[in-house]
Amino acid sequence: MSDDKDTDQKEAFSPERITFENRYVTVVGEINDKLAKTTVERLLALAAVSDDPITMFISSPGGHVESGDMVHDLIKFIKPTVRVIGSGWVASAGALIFIGAKKENRFCLPNTRFLLHQPSGGIGGKASDIQIQAQQLKIMKERFERIFAEATGQSEEKIAEDTKRDFWLNTDEAIAYGLLGKVITSASDI
């Protein structure tokens, strides 16, 4: 009998159950297809349960752009409002996910840093394949500039210029740039 009670208590306090019941989603680490799949599944499950807001916590060095696109687009697709809270660092494809939320729903904790840069990729193979890959990177870069311009209010040309190299922003700079809505220090600040 004691084993059943212990099991029930462990299940009641499991991180998965607590995050689901509180409508939290965490995106931590490299953005890849596995993380995107898990994140999208959780967002869809929470959206199916209710239209109440979902809070996503993100700390990521970035990763695969198309995996970031998947989460970014789903944040906009589902009916519940998604609030994102950056912590640690929100970089590259992580920043792409971050701006999936409306500006008024983009928050971060005080010590968060942001990194934007143009997409990159490994190119190899036959000359004709290299040419195709280079063209696809150019298309991705232009799309990235458009998406970030729309999300921040900056011009596409400014985004292109700023992201020629790694473009780091602290919280004050991120607010001024239009990337971030508000710095928060507690859950009651949302």
Residue 64 has pLDDT above 90, yes or no: yes
Total domains in the fold of the chain: 2
170 & 80 share domain: yes
CA–CA distance, 73 with 65 (Å, rounded to integer) = 12
23 & 74 share domain: yes
99 & 40 share domain: yes
Confidence band (pLDDT; 50, 70, 90) for 13? low
pTM confidence score: 0.89
Catalytic residue annotation: 92, 117
107 & 20 share domain: yes
68 & 144 share domain: no
Q: Where are the beta strands (DSSP E) in 82-188?
A: 82-91, 106-108, 113-116, 167-169, 182-183
111 & 171 share domain: yes
53 vs 69, 81, 84, CA distance in Å? 21, 5, 11
Closest by CA to 78, choosing from 44, 105, 107, is 44
Domain containing residue 149 = 123-162
27 & 103 share domain: yes
63 & 104 share domain: yes
Assess contact for 117 and 165: CB atoms under 8 A. yes
Mean pLDDT throughout 73-86? 98
Q: Where are the beta strands (DSSP E) in the chain?
A: 24-28, 54-60, 82-91, 106-108, 113-116, 167-169, 182-183
Mean pLDDT throughout 82-111? 98
68 & 37 share domain: yes
139 & 176 share domain: no
Residue 90 has pLDDT above 60, yes or no: yes
Separation of CA 50 from chain center: 22
Mean pLDDT of the chain: 92
CATH number, position 83: 3.90.226.10
Assess contact for 92 and 27: CB atoms under 8 A. no
107 & 174 share domain: yes
